[in-house]
Structure 1
Amino acid sequence: MAVALSVWNLITLLILFIAVAHFGSALQETSPAPPPVVSRIAFGSCSHQSYPQPIWDAVIDFDPQLFIHLGDNIYGDNKRPFRMFGKERTIGPWKNVPRFYPSSEQEMEKKYEIAKQVPGYSRLRKKAQIIGTWDDHDYGLNDAGKEFSGKISSQRLLLDFLDEDEDSPRRKQAGVYASYLFGPKGKQIKVILLDTRYHRDPMGSDGSILGDSQWVWLEKELKGPGSELTIIASSIQVVSNLSATTGPLFGMESWGRFPNERKRLFRLITDTKRNGVLFISGDVHFGEITRYDCGSEYSLYDITSSGLTQAVEAAVPPPFAFVVRFLAWLTPSTMRVYGPKCRYRSCTYGQPNFGAIEIQWDATPQIVKVGVRDTTGAPVAGVDILFSDLQHRSTGQAFDKEKVKQQHCTLETDLPWIVRRRLAFFCFGAVAALFVGLVLLIYMLVRISKKLVRKFKID
């Protein structure tokens, strides 16, 4: 009897062992795999749907796992020509109509369809995850903010373009802001997409860019679980404020033109002790890397890539591109990062470009390589940043008093006025010199003509 019980117990244990092994294996098979490590991210802005877009080949060759649209993903509004005289005058003292005016919803939808069918972009959609936000031209109107009446339909069209799920929270909220988390623990990247249009107050008001609801959301995102990198995507530049040095010739939208909002953003990063923050931005039709050392407890970088098709050098014939580069070099910038990786002396790039981020997770020390690349994929500006340089100070750690003396702590608005207006002085001086030269030339031609006339009369 005892032997029979022992055999029975042995059989029971064997059955239990097989069952546990089977269910354990099944459980292991059904448990979700850890998210893949993301180490290559591309981004860009300002892509006109009707222009040639060869740059997508270079983006694909970079082999990104993620691509981030930074706005002006299409040019949805319409533009009247520069005209000082006639029925519709868009410039000058007799201007009677705005130069830009919105498209219909049907026109916007058609433009998105054209953009989505570009062959290079179609290939990218099959290779990488694509996310994004908007800027003014895909919002519906140049430089528009919360006053724009077509923003609700524009939001739906953008989210359709991005293949956003029908039940996505982005379709139910006022604005297209969102956040994403990529990678396994220890190698996580949080991407925060800001909406700088839907709630933005008028330019020059120093009001709000994000609006109350988005500020509450952003604070919650930054206070949430930490990540090794936090990429904050803004359609307009965060660090640079070139309008302070290009005025009164022209101005560009940026956080710097809403100084209280920018201070609030920097203060929020400090107060939440968020490590690893990088900004990426677009809008300005050139690429550059800027840095501010006194906005938080570590340096805040802003990598600007603009545009995929639109570029400042396209505004002049190719033989005169050097003039644009010279003016870029002449324009004062206290925030721009200069270094050996820049193709041009100004460390700006005014031809089509895209942004690139490479994270070397397994390097010692860990490094994030950020840069701007041209249509062949070659770097035109770049910086290697240590993860350790994107960390808040430990409790009790002394503040480096020498930090405030660094070049990247002086705001453009704090420059002496004669330095800040250097570009304007040069341009107005050049125009004046040309005018004087033209007057002198005419004067000399008149004198020579008179002498010739007198000579012929004498003869």
Structure 2
Amino acid sequence: MRATSKLFLVLLALASAPCPSWSSPGAVGVDATPQLVSRIAFGSCAKQGTPQPIWSAISEFDPHIFIWLGDNIYGDNKRPLRVFGKERTIGPWKNLPLFFASPEQELRERYRIQKSNPGYSNLRSRAQIIGTWDDHDFGLNDAGKEFSGKNISQKLMLEFLDESPDSPRFKQSGVYASYTYGPVGKQIKVILLDTRYHRDPIGSDGSILGEEQWAWLEKELYGPKTDITIIGSSIQVISNLSATTSPLFYMESWGRFPKERKRLFNLINQSKRNGIFFISGDVHFSEITRFDCATGYPLYDVTSSGITQSVENAVPLLSPLVRFLARVTPCTMRIYNSGCRYSSCIYGKPNFGAIEIDWDATPRRLRLETRDLEGKPVMGVNLSFSDLRNSESLSKSTVSKNCIFEADLPWILRRRLSILIFSFLGVSIVLLVLILCVAVWYLRRCLRKCKGGREKDEEKDFAMLRVVSFGRFRR
């Protein structure tokens, strides 16, 4: 009888013990009544110490979860742009890298500054914060597995995210993680990739994730099904603008590792998992892209960048030019619709991503969008859950719209931006030369005229002098 009573008391204590409301790598167990998640915000590229008014708009959106997608701080340092001198940082003759890493204490201080931002602190008090990293919080611009300070960076980033001390993320190689939210039948899975810790050099077409992370990702995709699966990548998955902006400038993306991207799409297709879409950051503008030929339904990638860093803020006087160039740059995967604020369907000012899910609608629906400093949508797409389900009846006419990668475009179309800019520069140089030639010709003509006038005046003076001299001689 005593044993039975003790067992009853133990079971009663276990039943009443609190469990985490969120499922994560560091959590043990799931709440008996998990919280329904219907609003998720995400963002990237926040330079600590810079004004960050966008947190007010994010808080007004009232997300249940906020997802960092990288460059959560700018932990590295940038040298001045110098073409000449002892410290040359640009040009083929440069002798110093433009970026260099910070010591641990400086990196820790930058995280402290970001974490103490009043707007961000307010959001932390009302939403679950999760995230991954990109290059600047990893420790060095465009860095990969070769970066020697990555283990220190990993520890500091996880502390910034308030990761549980016993989380596997502190022990594993990389910060990849997965989380499951919501009750059965209304579940969301968030998979956050690490595109830095194991990444091979750009241009090598090597690995982004590394074999250990690939094995983990396969297990996650083949795991228990959820209604929605969000895959967070710090760099863009679908768009590869470098294929159309080179040789002017380059951006990191999965498209610069074609074999890895193909492997990712194949894994998603083979898993037969429904409800997958991507979210990404890094590029300092927002856009929504779509690829129709990876699986039995379209894959979307919602890019939001950045919270402080944006292309139009970097060159505010040239905003109209930036928007024009964005419009003429070929992008085969970008979604163009009437919901875009600008005709390019790119937004180059501070922004954040927003996901809204209507669980009560029939059929269930979700909206993917990016929003501005005031929380107003700048682009978006409405989807029903059935749009993200494998379907054998997906028509070829629908599929063919978003199936050609930028790198596969005809050369003259792929290089349209470069041709346009170099043609403009060429015409400008020719016009400048013509203007200089006309100016020189006009100046020489003026000089000749002035010289001719002076000679005539001298002749008149000389003639007058002769007349006067002759008159005196006659006398």
Hey, what does 1:351 align to over in structure 2?
A: 349
- The counterpart of 2:451, out of the listed 449, 454, 457, is 457
- Quick check: 1:355–1:372 contact (8 Å CA) kept in 2? yes
Hey, what does 1:100 align to over in structure 2?
A: 99
CA distance in 2, matches of 1:263, 1:211: 15
Matches within 5 A, 1:396-411: 397-398=392-393, 400-406=395-401, 408-411=402-405
- Quick check: 1:192–1:233 contact (8 Å CA) kept in 2? yes
CA distance in 1, matches of 2:84, 2:14: 76
Hey, what does 2:319 align to over in structure 1?
A: 321
Matches within 5 A, 1:60-459: 60-318=59-317, 320-393=318-391, 397-398=392-393, 400-406=395-401, 408-459=402-453
| Structure 1 counterpart of 2:353, one-letter code | G
1:316-366, Cα deviation, whole Å (9 max, x unpaired) = 233x20000000001000000000110000000000000000001101111
- Quick check: 1:294–1:403 contact (8 Å CA) kept in 2? no
CA distance in 1, matches of 2:427, 2:122: 52
CA distance in 2, matches of 1:428, 1:158: 42
CA distance in 2, matches of 1:57, 1:298: 35
1:71-107, Cα deviation, whole Å (9 max, x unpaired) = 0000000001111001111111321111001111111
- Please list every run of 5 or more consecutive structure 1 residues that lacks an aligned counterpart in the other structure: 1-22
| Structure 2 counterpart of 1:257, one-letter code | R
CA distance in 1, matches of 2:221, 2:419: 43
Hey, what does 1:14 align to over in structure 2?
A: none
For structure 1, which segment, 127-136 or 91-100, has the greater mean C-alpha deviation from structure 2 after superposition? 91-100
Q: CA deviation at 1:24?
A: 12
1:235-292, Cα deviation, whole Å (9 max, x unpaired) = 0000001111111111110001111111111111111111100100000000000000
CA distance in 1, matches of 2:180, 2:71: 24
Partner secondary structure for residue 381 of structure 1: strand
1:115-153, Cα deviation, whole Å (9 max, x unpaired) = 111110011110101000000000000000001000000
- Quick check: 1:40–1:64 contact (8 Å CA) kept in 2? yes
Hey, what does 1:57 align to over in structure 2?
A: 56
Q: CA deviation at 1:296?
A: 1.1
CA distance in 2, matches of 1:316, 1:328: 14
CA distance in 2, matches of 1:287, 1:130: 21
1:420-459, Cα deviation, whole Å (9 max, x unpaired) = 0000001111111111111111111111111111111122
| Structure 1 counterpart of 2:436, one-letter code | I
- Quick check: 2:277–2:300 contact (8 Å CA) kept in 1? yes
- Quick check: 2:52–2:307 contact (8 Å CA) kept in 1? yes
1:375-420, Cα deviation, whole Å (9 max, x unpaired) = 0001001000110010113xxx4563334422x1111111100000
1:195-250, Cα deviation, whole Å (9 max, x unpaired) = 00000011011110000000000000011100000000000000001111111111
Hey, what does 2:35 align to over in structure 1?
A: 36
Identity %: 64
Partner secondary structure for residue 49 of structure 1: coil
| Structure 2 counterpart of 1:332, one-letter code | P
CA distance in 2, matches of 1:24, 1:244: 61
CA distance in 2, matches of 1:121, 1:86: 42
Structure 1 residues 198, 122: closer, same or farther in 2, change over 3 A? same
Q: CA deviation at 1:50?
A: 2.0
Hey, what does 1:6 align to over in structure 2?
A: none
CA distance in 2, matches of 1:285, 1:114: 21
CA distance in 1, matches of 2:297, 2:357: 19
Q: CA deviation at 1:29?
A: 6.8
Structure 1 residues 87, 24: closer, same or farther in 2, change over 3 A? closer
CA distance in 1, matches of 2:73, 2:142: 14
Hey, what does 2:464 align to over in structure 1?
A: none
- Quick check: 1:71–1:136 contact (8 Å CA) kept in 2? yes
CA distance in 1, matches of 2:40, 2:62: 8
Bigger Cα Rg:
2
CA distance in 1, matches of 2:12, 2:359: 31
Partner secondary structure for residue 431 of structure 2: helix
CA distance in 2, matches of 1:112, 1:25: 42
Provide the TM-score with structure 2 as the length reference: 0.89
Q: CA deviation at 1:33?
A: 3.9
CA distance in 2, matches of 1:148, 1:65: 34
CA distance in 2, matches of 1:228, 1:375: 31
Provide the TM-score with structure 1 as the length reference: 0.92
CA distance in 2, matches of 1:309, 1:325: 18
Q: CA deviation at 1:30?
A: 6.8
| Structure 1 counterpart of 2:432, one-letter code | L
- Quick check: 2:355–2:368 contact (8 Å CA) kept in 1? yes
| Structure 2 counterpart of 1:266, one-letter code | F
Structure 1 residues 27, 215: closer, same or farther in 2, change over 3 A? closer
| Structure 2 counterpart of 1:191, one-letter code | V
Partner secondary structure for residue 125 of structure 2: helix
CA distance in 2, matches of 1:191, 1:26: 32
